[in-house]
Chains A and B, each alone.
Chain A
C-alpha cells in the first residue's frame, strides 16, 4: 500500500506533467479564470511571440474589478482607463476564442463567484487566476491559487505552471459555531491566530465539524481568505454538500460522466495517518463575531474587545501597530463597539453570494439604516442579484435604505467609482483592510455580512448577537 496522502497530495499528484530532479514540476491546469486587470499584458505577450491560447475551452474570462456597479455601464464606462481595460478583455476574449461573460450578460460577476456558479470549478481540479482570491475555489476540494501576469501568460500558452510543491497545513475547527458566528468569523479568527504569514509556503486544508457543517457559500468564504493568512491555497475535502452544489450546473458533467466524476471525487480526502507539516486547531465554540481594528487582516479581535496598544505587541509589529492606529484614527483602550461607522459595504468574492445577502437581509428586515449612513449591497454576480430580487431580499435592502447595485468587485478594492473618501470609515464584508485599499485614507473594518448589516443600522461597530 502506498503512503497515506493528504487531499493536497492527491490533487497535486494527479496533475504533475513532469518533475525535475530538484522537485520543480510542471503542473497541469484544468481551469484558467481571467479578468481584465491582470491579463492585458499576458495577451500582449502572446501576440508579440505569435503564441496561441493552448486550451481556450478551459479558459474563462469576465470583467469584474473595474466595472461600475451602476446602471448604464453596458453602454459606457466613464473612466477612460477602466474602459480601455474592459475593452481590451472584450477584444482578447474574442481574438483568442475563450469563454467570456461581458457586462451585458446576466452571468457576469466577480470571477470567483461566476466560476463556481457556472460549474467551471469542480472537485479535484487545478484552478488558477491572476488574482490572489482564487483560493476561493478550494472550497470544492480544488487546488486553486492566484498567479501573477507572467504566469497568466504561461498558462495561456502552455496550460501548465512551473511549480514546487508546498507544505501541508491542517486547520481544524472543531465543534459547533455559536449563534451569530459565521464562516467569515472562522476565517478571520484563523488569521488572527496564525498571522498573515502563518500559512506562507503551505496549502491549508480546513477540516473539522464546524467546517463540515458549512454550506458551499460558507466554505468559499473560509477558503477565500486563505491567502490573507499567507497560504498558497485553502482546501476543503468535497462531500455531499459539494456534490449537491455542483450537480446540474451549466458546465458540470452530466449523466454517466457525472457519475464517473463522482466516483473519483469521493476519493478526494486526506487518508488516515497522512502527515501535516503544521496543525492549528480552534474550538468552534470559542470563536466570537470578530472585527479587524488595524490595517492587516491579522489585526483581528472579538467585537467585545477593546483597541489594543502598540506595546501589546513585540518586534516589528510594535511600529506597524502604531502606524495602523494612527491611520485608523483609533485610541488604545477604546471599545470596538464605540467605533462610529459612516459606510457599509456588503459584497465581494468573500461575501457576495446569495447566502451572505440572505443573512444580512435577515438583520435589516423591517428596519432602517442610520440616517446619513452610506450603505451599499453589491451582489457577486448578475445571477445572485437576480435571485435576491426574486426572493424579495433586494426589496428588504432597498426599504432599509441600502443602495442595490450591479455585480462587480466594487468597493472591495475600489478600482471602480465605489470608493471611500478620506477618513471615511467602513464596515466591510470584503477581505483586505490595507491602507488605501477602499480609497485613499479610507478606513476599513472587516466583518461578516451580519455584522456589517448591524453596523448599518446602529452607525457603529455592533455585536450582532444583540440583534438575533
Chain B
C-alpha cells in the first residue's frame, strides 16, 4: 500500500472512493474526504516546500487556515493556475495537480538550502534594509538568487476561464464559524425566528467536534453536529454556507463572505448542464448582528529546529488521526503546556503507534486527560520541554531537558529521545482576526493566556473566540450569545427549551505560559528557533530587533517581517510578541499586538472583482449616433465614460489615413466647406425657477441679468478659491428658464456643485436643476457652407440679421422639433442643432443626404481640438488644471467685477496670491521652426543656458499642427506671459534638443471673429 501513513480504519474519509492526484509531478492516491494535506501525509510526504528565506525543508504543521508551510500552486493548465493555496484547506479531487511554490531547483534538493545552512547569518533580520544601505552592487548580487528562491506561487499568464459572482445579503444574525459555539448560537437564533446566515470555512461544518473525543448526550459529538445541521437546513430563515470564509469584517457590520463553490471539485468550475458554474461567490452581508464563533488556534512551542518536517501542532496530529485516518509518523514525543494537548498522545496510542513520552512544562499536571495518559502507561516527563529537534529532512529525535521558564534557562541534564514526530502545544490563541478588522483593539487575558476580541457594536463573540474552551461551557456560551444577538437584532429570544445538550464535564488542569523554550545556548547562538515559519522569523531575530532599538511591536514586525506572510502570523504572532515583551522587560499587554487586516485568508482577485471586469468593468456611454460612427469606421476616444469619435479615417488609394492625415483633411473641410460633429456628450442642465437668473449670476463669473430669451452667453464657473472649474454656454429659453451646457467630463460634477450651493447656502432661491444630457442629441454643423446646408432642412429664418451669432431659435430641422444655437467652437459659422435623442439619426442622415453636394465632412474630437486651439479657445482640464483663474486666462471680459452679489470666486481674485504679476498666464506659442509641434506638457524656460536644475516658468497645455496655418502652434501657461508678448522662450527636451518659440496671442486665426460672424 502506497499510503504508508494511512490507518486501517477510522476517520471521516470515504475509503471506497480513491482519488488520484499529483504533487510535484509524481502520482499519488488519496480518498474522498481528504484534504491535500492529509493525502500528502498519508503518502508519507515529509517535505512540501522550502522556506522563504533560508530555504530549509518544511513539512505540514497544522490542519487548517493557520498552516504556514504547505502553500502550494494548483492547476492542471496554464489558465487555471492558482497560487497560494493552503494544502490543509484544499479538498482533494480526482486529478488534482499541485506543486510546491518554493524550492530551486526542487524541494528535495534545494541549492539555496545549502547557502542557508552554510551561512546562518546570510540573511539576518532587517536584511533588506541593511542591504539597501550597502553599495548598490551588493543588492544586485543577492537579488537574482532571492527572486529565484522566494515566492508563494505565480499567477496564470492566460485569461481566467472562470466567472465569479457577487451577491448582496441581509440578515438578523450572521454566525461565523460552525463549531460547537457557532452551531449553538445559530440554532438558538434560528429557533427564535431570526434570519440567520451560518458560514464555515471548512469542507464540513462541525469545527472542533469533527475530531473530538467527547460525548454529547452520551453519543459521539458529531452526531449532535448532524442533528443541529439537519434542523438548520430544514428552516426557511437559515442560510448555510459551508466552504465559506468570512474574509473581511468592515464598517457597520458589513462582512464579506467568500464562498468557494467549485474549488473542491476541480481547478476550474465544471459545467452544470450547458452552463459553467460560478467558481466562487462573494456574499456582501449587511448583518444586524454578528456572532463571532471562530474558535482558537493552537500555538506551537518555539524550540531549536522546530521547523524540521515531523514537527506538528498537537491538535493537528489529533485531527489527522481522527478525521482523516492518517498518523503522520511512528514514534511521537509530545511537548505541551496544557491538558488539551494530551489528546494527541492518546489518539496516537489508540492508532497503534508508539508514544515515546509526553514532555510537560508544568510541575504537576493533574487533569482527566493526564490521568488517562498515565493509565495507559505513557511516560510523562514534567517541568521539561523539547529544547531541540534532531534531524535534517525529518525529525530523528528530540532533545528533552528540565527547564526553568521564569529564569528562561535549562535546569537539568539533556536527554535525547529517538522519535520521528514531535507534537507541540503552547496553548491556544482565540481567532480574533475578524474583530480586529473593525479597528478595535483586543484585550489580553492572563487567565487564558491570550487576546480576546475588543468591543464592537453589533458583535457578540462566543466560545473559543473569546477564550471559553471546555465543551459544555462553549455550547452554553453559544446559546447565550445566540440569544443576545437575537435580542439585539430586535427579536424576542425566549423560545429556547430543552436545547442545552448534556456534555460530561472534563476536568482540565491549569495551563502554563511558555512562549519560547530556553536552550543550552543563548538564542543568538542556539540552532534556529522559529517563531514565524512562513517568513523565517526566529526568536533570535526578534531579540536582535529589540537590541537594535525597535521597541514598538509594529516596528519589530516590520523589521523582522514577522506576521507579514500570507498567513498573517496566525501561528507565530503571540509567541513573537511575548518574546519581544521578554526582551524589552515588559508585559504582553504593554507590548500589545499588531493589527490584523482583511483578508483573513488570501482571496483570489477574481472573487473580489466578481462580474465587474471586461465589458462590465466600467459603463460605456454611447450617443444616439454611435452606430453611425461605428459603421463609418471612426476611431474612438474615451471622454469620461463616453465613447466619442476621435477621427474618421478614410481609405485613400487603398491606404487608411493616419490620425494626422485624417485630422488635416477634416480641419480643411471645416475651414473651407462644412463639417459636422456629434456634440451630444456635452453636459446639459435645464434650470428653471423665479430665481434661476440670480442663481446663474452667483455661480458664473459673468453677468446674466440682461440676457434676453433667444440669446446665448458663454460663462466661466469658478470655485470659491477663484480657480476655473468649468465653462460652457447657457441659453435663455424664457424669463425663468435656462439651458446650461457643461464640459463632457464635468457634467455630473457641475450638477452636484449647483445642488450643493442651492441646498446648503441659498435654499431661499427658487430654482430647480434637471440633467437633460441624454435627452438631447447635439449636432454641430460648421463651416462657410453651414447656412446653405441647414437652410435646406429647416423652417427657421437663418438670415444673418434675424439669427445672429450667440442667438438660438426654435423650429424644425428635417421635420422634427429642434433648438438651433448659433455658437461656434471652431471659429467658423456654426449651428448647433439639438433634437430629441431618438430623432438624432433621422436628422443626421438627412443632413448628410443634403450635405453631399457641399462635401459635408464628419469630424471627431481631435479636429475639434485643433480648430478650437487655432482660435485660442480653452478646454477646461487641458489648458487649465485647478490653479488657473479667469484672469490668468486673460478672460477679464467674462468677469463681472461690479455684479452686486459677491459671486463664487470673486473674493479670491483679490487675494495677494491671485494678484501676483508673475502668475502663470495663458498665451500662444509659435515655434521658430514651423515644422516643430511642441510636446504637450513640455516645460518652458527663459534661459536655455542656465545650469540644471533650471527655473521652469511654465508648460505647454495644447499643441498641434495647423493645416490651415501651415505650421505647428501651441497654447501654454508662462509666468507673467501676458506682458511678454513677442519674447522668445525655450523648451529643453529629454533628447537634448532645445526648441525655441515666440510668445504670441493665443488667438492664431481670425482674431476679429469675422469668419463666425457672417
Do A and B interact?
A: no
* Interface, chain A (partner B; CB < 8 A): none
